[in-house]
């Protein structure tokens, strides 16, 4: 995990969990939107950074769509697992400049900031382990 993400995790770990599951979902869509905006912004001058931003947006959107949020009817991933995967996506975001070979360019800052943001949101999210938001109990379990 990149150094900034690790430092963010260390700083936010003792803080109170102030982001609700619904708030986390909103942050996820904001993060996806910012990656897409970054892809559009970078496209005219740095195709590699634009592609990296699009890849990160797709990964975050896919994870968000599979997650069990309060208003979801069906989902595959619980919020606790989502937050664990978010840490991996934050590391992926911060590593994209090296992976896509634009580490020496100013676009690197965007990916580092996004990694820090994803880490902070993940660490500050309140996870209610007793609640399953959109999951329906099967008839066999209900009896």
pTM equals 0.83
**Residue 48 class from Cβ within 10 Å (0-12 exposed, 13-18 middle, 19+ buried)?**
middle
pLDDT digits (tens, 9 = 90+) for 89-126: 999 999 999 999 999 999 999 999 999 999 999 999 98
Does a structural domain hold residue 64?
A: yes
Q: How confident is the model at residue 141 (pLDDT cuts 50, 70, 90)?
A: very low
- The count of domains in the chain is 1
The residue segments making up the domain with residue 75 are: 17-126
| 46 part of a folded domain | yes
Residue 60 is assigned to a structural domain of this protein: yes
Q: Is residue 133 part of a domain?
A: no
**CB neighbour class for 117 (10 Å; exposed up to 12, middle 13-18, buried from 19):** middle
Q: Is residue 4 part of a domain?
A: no
Whether 23 maps to a domain, the answer reads yes
Token pair recorded at residue 20: 């609700």
Return the percentage of the chain with pLDDT > 90, whole number.
64
């Amino acid at each position: 995990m990149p150094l900034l993400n690790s430092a963010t995790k260390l700083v936010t770990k003792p803080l109170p969990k102030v982001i609700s599951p619904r708030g986390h979902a909103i942050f996820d869509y904001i993060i996806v939107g910012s990656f897409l905006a970054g892809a559009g912004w970078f496209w005219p001058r740095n195709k590699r950074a634009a592609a990296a931003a699009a890849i990160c947006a797709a990964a975050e959107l896919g994870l968000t769509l599979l997650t069990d949020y309060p208003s979801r009817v069906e989902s595959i991933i619980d919020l606790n697992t989502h937050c664990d995967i978010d840490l991996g996506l934050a590391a992926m975001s911060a590593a994209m400049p090296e992976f896509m070979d634009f580490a020496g360019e100013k676009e690197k800052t965007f990916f580092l900031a996004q990694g820090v943001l994803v880490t902070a949101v993940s660490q500050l999210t309140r996870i209610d382990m007793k609640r399953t938001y959109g999951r329906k109990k099967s008839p066999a379990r209900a009896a």
